[in-house]
Amino acid sequence: MRVVIAEDNALLREGLLLLLTSAGHDIVAAVGTGPEVLPALLAHQPDVAVLDVRMPPSFRDEGLRAALAARKEIPGLPVLILSQYVEEAYAGELLAGGASGVGYLLKDRVGRVEEFLDALNRVAAGGTALDPEVVTELLTRRRSPLDSLTPREREVLKLMAEGHDNATIADTLVVTERSVSKHIGNVFGKLGLPPSDSGHRRVLAVLTYLNN
Protein backbone atom coordinates (compact mmCIF):
# COMPACT_ATOMS: atom_id res chain seq x y z
CA MET A 1 0.00 0.00 0.00
CA ARG A 2 1.03 3.61 -0.54
CA VAL A 3 1.11 5.39 2.81
CA VAL A 4 1.49 8.99 3.99
CA ILE A 5 2.77 9.44 7.55
CA ALA A 6 2.27 12.67 9.53
CA GLU A 7 3.94 12.65 12.95
CA ASP A 8 5.94 15.43 14.59
CA ASN A 9 7.92 13.12 16.91
CA ALA A 10 10.93 12.22 14.75
CA LEU A 11 11.61 8.98 16.61
CA LEU A 12 8.05 7.72 16.23
CA ARG A 13 7.90 8.93 12.63
CA GLU A 14 11.04 6.98 11.74
CA GLY A 15 9.74 3.99 13.68
CA LEU A 16 6.50 4.02 11.70
CA LEU A 17 8.43 4.37 8.46
CA LEU A 18 10.65 1.39 9.30
CA LEU A 19 7.73 -0.72 10.53
CA LEU A 20 5.54 -0.09 7.50
CA THR A 21 8.40 -0.46 5.04
CA SER A 22 9.34 -3.77 6.64
CA ALA A 23 5.70 -4.85 6.24
CA GLY A 24 5.97 -4.23 2.49
CA HIS A 25 4.28 -0.85 2.27
CA ASP A 26 5.47 2.13 0.23
CA ILE A 27 5.88 5.34 2.24
CA VAL A 28 5.24 8.08 -0.30
CA ALA A 29 5.59 10.95 2.21
CA ALA A 30 6.52 11.40 5.88
CA VAL A 31 5.92 14.89 7.25
CA GLY A 32 6.37 16.48 10.65
CA THR A 33 4.29 19.68 10.73
CA GLY A 34 0.63 20.52 10.31
CA PRO A 35 0.92 22.72 7.19
CA GLU A 36 2.66 19.88 5.33
CA VAL A 37 -0.08 17.32 5.85
CA LEU A 38 -2.86 18.40 3.48
CA PRO A 39 -0.53 19.14 0.52
CA ALA A 40 1.09 15.71 0.95
CA LEU A 41 -2.28 13.96 1.03
CA LEU A 42 -3.61 15.81 -2.00
CA ALA A 43 -0.40 15.34 -3.98
CA HIS A 44 0.02 11.62 -3.31
CA GLN A 45 -3.58 10.49 -2.68
CA PRO A 46 -2.33 7.47 -0.70
CA ASP A 47 -4.09 4.19 -0.07
CA VAL A 48 -4.09 5.14 3.62
CA ALA A 49 -2.82 8.01 5.78
CA VAL A 50 -1.42 7.62 9.30
CA LEU A 51 -1.79 10.96 11.07
CA ASP A 52 -1.04 12.37 14.51
CA VAL A 53 -3.83 14.53 15.95
CA ARG A 54 -1.67 17.27 17.43
CA MET A 55 1.14 18.68 15.33
CA PRO A 56 3.19 21.89 15.05
CA PRO A 57 2.82 24.79 15.01
CA SER A 58 -0.03 24.98 17.55
CA PHE A 59 -0.13 21.32 18.71
CA ARG A 60 -3.91 21.41 18.79
CA ASP A 61 -5.69 19.47 16.04
CA GLU A 62 -3.69 20.10 12.85
CA GLY A 63 -3.57 16.43 11.89
CA LEU A 64 -7.30 15.95 12.36
CA ARG A 65 -8.14 19.13 10.44
CA ALA A 66 -5.94 18.00 7.57
CA ALA A 67 -7.65 14.59 7.56
CA LEU A 68 -11.12 16.14 7.44
CA ALA A 69 -10.11 18.57 4.70
CA ALA A 70 -8.47 15.83 2.64
CA ARG A 71 -11.54 13.59 2.89
CA LYS A 72 -13.63 16.42 1.47
CA GLU A 73 -11.28 16.65 -1.51
CA ILE A 74 -10.74 12.90 -1.81
CA PRO A 75 -13.98 11.21 -0.64
CA GLY A 76 -13.34 7.96 1.16
CA LEU A 77 -9.62 8.61 1.74
CA PRO A 78 -8.69 6.03 4.44
CA VAL A 79 -7.30 7.75 7.53
CA LEU A 80 -5.84 6.20 10.66
CA ILE A 81 -5.52 8.81 13.42
CA LEU A 82 -3.00 8.36 16.23
CA SER A 83 -3.37 10.13 19.58
CA GLN A 84 -1.50 10.17 22.86
CA TYR A 85 -4.72 10.17 24.86
CA VAL A 86 -8.41 9.40 24.40
CA GLU A 87 -9.78 12.68 23.05
CA GLU A 88 -13.49 12.11 22.59
CA ALA A 89 -14.16 15.35 20.74
CA TYR A 90 -11.58 14.52 18.08
CA ALA A 91 -12.78 10.93 17.70
CA GLY A 92 -16.37 12.12 17.43
CA GLU A 93 -15.57 14.76 14.84
CA LEU A 94 -13.74 12.29 12.64
CA LEU A 95 -16.46 9.67 12.90
CA ALA A 96 -19.28 12.19 12.43
CA GLY A 97 -18.33 12.49 8.77
CA GLY A 98 -18.97 8.81 8.20
CA ALA A 99 -17.09 5.79 9.48
CA SER A 100 -15.92 4.44 6.12
CA GLY A 101 -12.16 3.95 6.14
CA VAL A 102 -11.40 5.62 9.45
CA GLY A 103 -9.46 4.57 12.52
CA TYR A 104 -8.54 6.12 15.85
CA LEU A 105 -5.81 4.46 17.90
CA LEU A 106 -3.77 5.40 20.92
CA LYS A 107 -0.08 5.68 20.12
CA ASP A 108 0.95 2.86 22.45
CA ARG A 109 -1.02 0.56 20.13
CA VAL A 110 1.76 1.03 17.53
CA GLY A 111 4.03 -1.07 19.75
CA ARG A 112 1.65 -3.99 19.33
CA VAL A 113 2.78 -4.56 15.77
CA GLU A 114 0.27 -7.17 14.65
CA GLU A 115 -2.68 -5.23 16.09
CA PHE A 116 -1.48 -2.01 14.49
CA LEU A 117 -0.92 -3.55 11.06
CA ASP A 118 -4.30 -5.30 11.24
CA ALA A 119 -5.98 -1.97 12.07
CA LEU A 120 -4.14 -0.27 9.20
CA ASN A 121 -5.26 -2.94 6.74
CA ARG A 122 -8.88 -2.72 7.93
CA VAL A 123 -8.94 1.04 7.50
CA ALA A 124 -7.29 0.87 4.07
CA ALA A 125 -9.95 -1.63 3.01
CA GLY A 126 -12.70 0.83 3.97
CA GLY A 127 -13.41 -0.58 7.42
CA THR A 128 -13.18 0.89 10.90
CA ALA A 129 -10.55 0.43 13.60
CA LEU A 130 -11.16 2.01 16.97
CA ASP A 131 -8.95 1.65 20.00
CA PRO A 132 -10.79 -0.30 22.74
CA GLU A 133 -10.17 2.59 25.16
CA VAL A 134 -11.77 5.03 22.71
CA VAL A 135 -14.82 2.80 22.35
CA THR A 136 -15.13 2.47 26.11
CA GLU A 137 -14.92 6.25 26.50
CA LEU A 138 -17.60 6.83 23.87
CA LEU A 139 -19.95 4.27 25.39
CA THR A 140 -19.41 5.52 28.95
CA ARG A 141 -19.96 9.19 28.17
CA ARG A 142 -23.16 8.39 26.27
CA ARG A 143 -24.54 5.99 28.81
CA SER A 144 -28.22 6.98 28.91
CA PRO A 145 -29.26 5.82 25.41
CA LEU A 146 -27.70 2.44 26.16
CA ASP A 147 -29.44 1.80 29.47
CA SER A 148 -31.82 -0.67 27.86
CA LEU A 149 -28.99 -2.98 26.78
CA THR A 150 -28.03 -6.03 28.81
CA PRO A 151 -24.38 -6.44 29.92
CA ARG A 152 -23.86 -9.04 27.19
CA GLU A 153 -25.38 -6.77 24.54
CA ARG A 154 -23.03 -4.01 25.69
CA GLU A 155 -20.08 -6.38 25.27
CA VAL A 156 -21.22 -7.25 21.76
CA LEU A 157 -21.76 -3.58 20.88
CA LYS A 158 -18.28 -2.69 22.16
CA LEU A 159 -16.66 -5.42 20.06
CA MET A 160 -18.72 -4.41 17.02
CA ALA A 161 -17.58 -0.81 17.38
CA GLU A 162 -13.96 -1.98 17.49
CA GLY A 163 -14.54 -3.45 14.04
CA HIS A 164 -14.74 -7.17 14.82
CA ASP A 165 -16.87 -9.55 12.78
CA ASN A 166 -19.36 -12.06 14.18
CA ALA A 167 -16.90 -14.95 14.25
CA THR A 168 -14.33 -12.95 16.20
CA ILE A 169 -16.96 -11.70 18.63
CA ALA A 170 -18.16 -15.28 19.16
CA ASP A 171 -14.60 -16.47 19.84
CA THR A 172 -13.92 -13.57 22.20
CA LEU A 173 -17.09 -14.10 24.23
CA VAL A 174 -16.96 -17.92 23.91
CA VAL A 175 -20.48 -18.16 22.46
CA THR A 176 -21.91 -19.33 19.14
CA GLU A 177 -22.18 -17.08 16.08
CA ARG A 178 -25.93 -17.64 16.20
CA SER A 179 -25.98 -16.20 19.70
CA VAL A 180 -23.92 -13.22 18.54
CA SER A 181 -26.36 -12.59 15.66
CA LYS A 182 -29.24 -12.64 18.13
CA HIS A 183 -27.51 -10.15 20.44
CA ILE A 184 -26.75 -7.87 17.48
CA GLY A 185 -30.39 -7.97 16.43
CA ASN A 186 -31.40 -7.03 19.98
CA VAL A 187 -28.90 -4.16 20.06
CA PHE A 188 -30.18 -2.62 16.85
CA GLY A 189 -33.76 -3.16 17.87
CA LYS A 190 -33.30 -1.44 21.24
CA LEU A 191 -31.34 1.44 19.73
CA GLY A 192 -33.82 1.90 16.91
CA LEU A 193 -31.23 1.07 14.24
CA PRO A 194 -31.87 -1.17 11.22
CA PRO A 195 -29.97 -4.48 11.43
CA SER A 196 -27.53 -5.32 8.66
CA ASP A 197 -25.46 -8.29 7.54
CA SER A 198 -22.52 -6.00 6.80
CA GLY A 199 -19.99 -5.64 9.61
CA HIS A 200 -18.92 -2.21 8.40
CA ARG A 201 -22.46 -0.87 8.08
CA ARG A 202 -23.24 -2.14 11.57
CA VAL A 203 -20.29 -0.20 12.97
CA LEU A 204 -21.21 2.87 10.93
CA ALA A 205 -24.77 2.79 12.28
CA VAL A 206 -23.65 2.34 15.88
CA LEU A 207 -21.04 5.09 15.69
CA THR A 208 -23.41 7.45 13.92
CA TYR A 209 -25.94 6.88 16.68
CA LEU A 210 -23.34 7.44 19.40
CA ASN A 211 -22.12 10.64 17.80
CA ASN A 212 -25.66 11.97 17.52
d(CA 97, CA 110): 25
Contacts of 12 (CB under 8 A, 6+ apart): 107, 110
- All residues at 6 or more sequence positions from 166 whose CB lies less than 8 Å from its CB, including other chains: 177, 180, 181, 184, 199
Q: What is the pLDDT of residue 32?
A: 94
CATH match of 142-211 with 3.40.50.1460: no
Between 161 and 73, residue with greater pLDDT: 73
| In contact, 123 and 48? CB cutoff 8 Å | yes
CATH code 3.40.50.2300 for 2-131: yes
Nearest alpha-carbon partner for 29 in 84, 87, 70, 58 = 70
pTM over 0.75: no
What are the residue ranges of CATH 3.40.50.2300 in the chain? 2-131
> 72-114, pLDDT tens digit by residue?
899 889 999 898 876 666 666 666 655 578 888 888 878 889 9
Q: Cα–chain-centroid distance for residue 70?
A: 16
